[in-house]
Structures are given as C-alpha cells and as structure tokens.
Structure 1
Amino acid sequence: LLPLPHLASLFSIDLTNLCFSVNLPTECSRSLTLYGSDGRARREMPALGEMLHCLTGRCPHEYEMYGCYCGQEGGGQPLDQLDRCCFFHHCCLKQISSMGCRSERKLNAQISCESGKPRCESNRSTLPVMYQQRS
C-alpha cells in the first residue's frame, strides 16, 4: 500500500503544457457556412455572416447550427429573432432563384455596420447587366 502523497503524484498533470498545446483561432471569420441535412458544407454566405456579426458582435461560425435556419437548410418555425433573420435570408435566396437568378452567384454588395445595424449597399449599375446575361 502506498501512502497518500505518492498517489497524488501519480495523477498530477502539468497544466502549463496542457493549456499552451491548444491552438485557438485568433481571428473571427465573417462568413457563415450553410450545411445540408447530411452535414456536408453546401456554400459560404459572407453577407449573412457580416450581418450576424454586426447584430450580435459574435463570430458567425457560432451560429452555423443555431435554431432551425442559421447555417442549415432548415424547416419548421424559426425559434427566435436571430433564427428568423436566417429564415428570411433563405426565403430571399429561394425567391431570386424562382425569378431565374442564380442564388449561388456572388453579389456585388457591401455590408457595413452602423451602430449595431447592418446596412447593405449595392452597385445598382450591375443589375441591368446581370438581367441581360440571363435573357
């Protein structure tokens, strides 16, 4: 039988080395990834990610599996205001697809954050060109 002080040394861990061995990301990606029902990444959505970051002050990847619609294809009723924002984004993408526009196309828009409110600014001169390319 070992005395108690010897048992304590068997279970000691060097916490200094343990803490420094974990590499945490230092940057916050402003893009949100949409995942399919199979768990595979479908597409990157930088504009929605910028809006989520502006509204919440948090990294968008924290919301990739949030609620029913943030970061997933979704279904059912949105759980709260944030999930509702993602729901409306999905509705918008479906609507532009039904109008013949390609939702996967990169939009020429800038998202800015003013006093915690996202603002979308678009170069409207590109809209007639995009419409002509479709016809």
Structure 2
Amino acid sequence: MAEFAVPDQDDSAALLSELDIPETAAQARARLQAEVDASLTTADKAEVLSDVAKEQARLLGMQVARSLLAQSGQTPAEVSALTGIKPETLSRIATGFHDTGPKLWTLLAISQAVGIPLTVALQRG
C-alpha cells in the first residue's frame, strides 16, 4: 500500500504556484477592491456608496411590498383603494421597476392597509 505525505503549507503554496492555479474568488475580490479603492477619488467613492444604498433600498422595498401584497391576497387595485397609492405605483414597487426604494411611510401604509404589521429594527453596524 502506498503512503502519501501531506505537504505543509509552504510546500502547498509552492506546488500551487508551480501548477499556475488561478486565484480564489476571495483573492480576486480583494485584489479588485484594492484596485478600485486606489483608482477612485473620495467624491467618486461617495457617489458609488450612494448608488449602492439606493439600489439596496429599492430591492428591500420591492421584497417587502411583494411580500405584503402576496400575504394579503389583495390585488394592487384593492390596496390602492385603501392606501391612496396608485395601483401602477404599487406594481412598480413590488416588481422593482421603480427608480429608488419606496419611502418607509409607503411600506407602513401598505402594511396597515393589508393588516400585516411591519416592524423596523435598526442595528448599529
């Protein structure tokens, strides 16, 4: 029976470099992040972060609105009659076809209209 020796970490790294194994996803992400950080000005970084926050708000709003509408079993027209929010607007929010995320009061109005409590918890990140 053949015996196999497990290489230590230094030997593994040398072997991998000899085999020309591509970098891991984490290594690639770290390298790209460093390149982006080095190439963006402070104003550019702020703009990117703002865009990311808007997109996160849009996606979160979409998920909450879609969930509220689905759980309620009511149509957008019925919810519109209860909230005063146009059915087209409800549909755009719930499908993500809205430029920004809905305002918090919009989600609260929908939750109250359909009788499903919406709780907001803020956490220090």
**TM above 0.5:** no
Q: Larger relative contact order (C-alpha < 8 A, sep ≥ 6)?
A: 2
**TM-score with structure 1 setting the length:** 0.22
Which has more radius of gyration?
2
**TM-score with structure 2 setting the length:** 0.23
| Greater fraction helix | 2
